[in-house]
Structure 1
């Protein structure tokens, strides 16, 4: 899996956890239906290898996680439904504790036996979590009596929060199997890829994507750009994109991107390296009944909204993908929430799923949500589907992830 890329931190396999109480920080920030049931358990399933590894070694497993962005204690964001679903998936009873520190937690851990699982209440019900509070972190460790923290919440490791950073001051902290797997897959895709390496970058904000664009200009053989990000780049180049969503005042940023591309491939190959749409799918409004209309650049009307890349661009994109050795996809290419404007994202997903020889790495967040829905939750169609949105984006951009940086180093 590493293929020349190393993970310089200790993992759960490297420490003597047998029959000990361990804390496992997972990312159970799962989408919920209006009735509070879990809509997608992808992240819960992703945590199972680490949990099973610990249970086979007779550990008492105490799980901590967050869910949503609560303001104080919000019952609708309780992790209780996750405990029930996790128990079904693990085929063990999962004891839910309605706090993450204090006497109730102490009592529950004291009553537990080796091979049992406890899930504590939403960390973010306490403001100390996001404040990276040392006192809050210490209180979790003291209440659980944990001998190790296993960091397996990849979707949270880009945040310096109490459960990813401060807590490592009070308990030896190592990586879980998921965190190590995510790190190796994503790092290899950009540092040691099977070539040609094609990056597909969508989404909305230039500011969010500038880091990953700069890194891929350096590392990739081709970059395909879609989504509102493409609208902004086109507009900054003087293309009329009608009423489409764009970020204003991005001309300097776009020019620096183009200058970096010119410096790499020369002025005559910019369009081959940085592939922008040459036709767009537009509509007059954003709703389920909006009619998809494909127009070439220069034919966009003043009240048109560009909501997807056009059919010719999609066809060209697929040809580029077919020649790729590795494809890294971060950000949907159109307004994928509406089927009429999900054509490009769906065609890309189909192309990647159909090419067994191509290594396909799907960034987390909206992109992962889309491909999982498109594939009916069949992750096996792709080489790697990340569980982390912001974490995968920051790792691919070359940034340090606090929740990994704070773990124990592996011997050199």
Structure 2
């Protein structure tokens, strides 16, 4: 079971990350979260998005993954830009050493390979959240690598679930929505369900069955 959690903040995904720790073999954390983890490990992240008040939380997640035997896959290199735009100058750098005026905007080539390897052999795959600013074509390669690996695994018999607004927009942008097992348009609801919370709609249906 491989879960891929992207998006900008660790704080909004912490409930699901902790819940998934008991279920998954591989946990890929990507997107903006990458830089909070890099900084927590002592890296320099330049102008990258980073939750400075969540560094301890990031270290705690790394420790928990080790304790539970979960293969935690974090980005090692990134595509950095000198501006938040598709036309920004870019360079591939270590996530731990991003220059002062630059920001990480996508997963780098080594990271894409790491992600794909953790996905390709999986039997169950959950993807929520992109690996970079996929809306900009020049920073979509990380998310594309994830999507391609999920499609390959699905063709080999895996069950793949893509959920949440950004991930759905992502898979649609690449024209691959019909190549995965299931697309859930409910992002928050999907995450709450996986967190183990009861969904009001499901509760209402269950109530009417009694």
Q: TM-score, normalised by structure 1?
A: 0.48
| Partners of 2:3 and 2:28 within 8 A in 1 | yes
| Partners of 2:35 and 2:50 within 8 A in 1 | yes
Deviation for aligned residue 1:361: 0.6
Of 75, 96, 100, the match for 1:302 = 100
| Partners of 1:291 and 1:340 within 8 A in 2 | no
Question: Which residue matches 1:14?
Answer: none
Spell out, residue by residue over 1:280-332, the C-alpha distance to the aligned partner (whole angstroms, 9 max, x if none): 11010011211331112444211110001110110121122111111100101
Higher relative contact order (CA 8 A, sep 6+): 2
| Partners of 2:38 and 2:96 within 8 A in 1 | no
Of 160, 167, 191, the match for 1:367 = 167
Give the Cα separation in 1 of the matches to 2:185 and 2:96: 39
Matching of residue 251 in structure 1 with residue 49 in structure 2 = no
Q: How does 1:281-300 map to 2 (within 5 A)?
A: 281-300=79-98
Aligned residue for 1:288, secondary structure, equals coil
Deviation for aligned residue 1:221: 0.1
Matching of residue 333 in structure 1 with residue 131 in structure 2 = yes
After the TM superposition, which segments of 4 or more aligned residues of structure 1 sit over 4 Å from their partners?
A: none
Aligned residue for 2:12, secondary structure, equals helix
Of 17, 22, 31, the match for 1:227 = 31
Aligned residue for 1:347, secondary structure, equals helix
Give the Cα separation in 2 of the matches to 1:408 and 1:379: 30
The alignment yields a C-alpha RMSD, in angstroms, of: 1.7
Give the Cα separation in 2 of the matches to 1:274 and 1:408: 36
Question: Which residue matches 1:213?
Answer: 17
Question: Which residue matches 1:276?
Answer: 74
Give the Cα separation in 1 of the matches to 2:183 and 2:18: 22
Gaps of 5+ in 1: 1-196
Deviation for aligned residue 1:255: 2.8
| Partners of 1:204 and 1:229 within 8 A in 2 | yes
Of 41, 48, 52, the match for 1:237 = 41
Sort the Cα spacing of 1:342 and 1:359 in 2 relative to 1 into closer, same or farther, 3 A: same
Aligned residue for 2:27, secondary structure, equals strand
Q: Larger radius of gyration, structure 1 or 2?
A: 1
Sort the Cα spacing of 1:359 and 1:292 in 2 relative to 1 into closer, same or farther, 3 A: farther
Sort the Cα spacing of 1:237 and 1:402 in 2 relative to 1 into closer, same or farther, 3 A: same
Gaps of 5+ in 2: none
Give the Cα separation in 1 of the matches to 2:40 and 2:101: 18
Sort the Cα spacing of 1:299 and 1:238 in 2 relative to 1 into closer, same or farther, 3 A: closer
Deviation for aligned residue 1:249: 0.8
